[in-house]
Amino acid sequence: MSVIEAVFFDLGETLVNEGEIYGRWADWLRVPRHTFNAVLGGAIARGDSYLAVFEHFRPGFDLAAEERARAEAGVPNLWGADDLYPDARGCLAALKAQGLHVGVAGNQPKEVTELVAGLGLAADVIGISDNWGVQKPDLAFFARVTEEASRGLGRPIGPDRILYVGDRVDNDVRPALAFGMPIAFLRRGPWGHVQSHDAADVLPRCLFRLDDLDELPALVAAHNALR
């Protein structure tokens, strides 16, 4: 295996705990949070989008219209620094301190661009799929990550020198491996736990399998020390 020169992080359920974000949607729809979350788990198990949950409780659900209604009602669909997992900041900072190029790159709407930039994470680059015009699991997303890492380091590097960290088997693990990019699978959040049951073919190929981000900096340092 190659030395790791750059580490890129997914956002949702990797750096950001989406519990309150989904919880506020449940509140808005007047569905008990426990029920909402269970239906979300069912959708994930079936391979459906999270939008299937809204459709289940409100057939014909219009996300854009409901977001406008929430903004007008004073409960906008926003999140912030309080929603970061407690291990997120420290992990990025520790990798940065190892001299690695650190990036954030996830499937997100362009509306969160300023919000993510304002979190003050120790990231050299922030990639938002909506701004890039390409999203996971498209392999072009991982090609863009490779371009950004090469630009940041000032020389071309291959995907084999970039570690991607994500919680989803379908959107993170499988396409990263298909692109030749090492992956750290983080088994947390609804997707990480539910999808881990159907991933026996790819989990052994993950460079690291994590339950939190605290352990990652030492694992990367140990990996690089052997190269």
- Nearer CB in complex with Mg ion: 150/190: 190
Smallest distance, Å, CB 168 to Mg ion? 5
Q: Which stretch binds Mg ion (CB under 5 A): 7-15, 112-120, 132-140, 194-202?
A: 7-15
Q: Which stretch binds Mg ion (CB under 5 A): 6-14, 20-28, 92-100, 126-134?
A: 6-14
- Nearer CB in complex with Mg ion: 134/221: 134
CA 192, CA 79: separation in Å to the nearest integer?
Answer: 21
Interacting residues of 133 by C-beta distance below 8 A, sequence separation 6+:
none
- Nearer CB in complex with Mg ion: 106/182: 106
Interacting residues of 69 by C-beta distance below 8 A, sequence separation 6+:
none
Smallest distance, Å, CB 27 to Mg ion? 22
- Nearer CB in complex with Mg ion: 26/165: 165
CA 48, CA 197: separation in Å to the nearest integer?
Answer: 16
Smallest distance, Å, CB 18 to Mg ion? 8
Smallest distance, Å, CB 54 to Mg ion? 18
Pick out residues in 11-30 that bind Mg ion (CB under 5 A): 12-13
- Nearer CB in complex with Mg ion: 36/185: 185
Beta partners for 150?
Answer: none
Sign (positive or negative) of CA dihedral 116, 177, 102, 216: positive
Give the nearest residue (CB) to Mg ion.
12
CA 98, CA 23: separation in Å to the nearest integer?
Answer: 37
Binding mask 149-188 for Mg ion (x = CB under 5 A): ------------------x---------------------
Which of 10, 18, 124, 148 binds Mg ion (CB under 5 A)? It is 10
| Inter-residue long-range contacts of 19-22, CB under 8 Å, 24+ positions, other chains counted | 20/79, 20/82, 20/83, 21/77, 21/79, 21/83
Smallest distance, Å, CB 189 to Mg ion? 7
CA 100, CA 84: separation in Å to the nearest integer?
Answer: 21
Smallest distance, Å, CB 15 to Mg ion? 9
Concatenated DSSP letters of 124-149: SEEEEHHHHT--TTSHHHHHHHHHHH
Count interface residues toward Mg ion (CB under 5 A).
4
Q: Are 13 and 191 in contact (CB under 8 A)?
A: yes
**Binding positions for Mg ion, rule: CB under 5 A:** 10, 12-13, 167
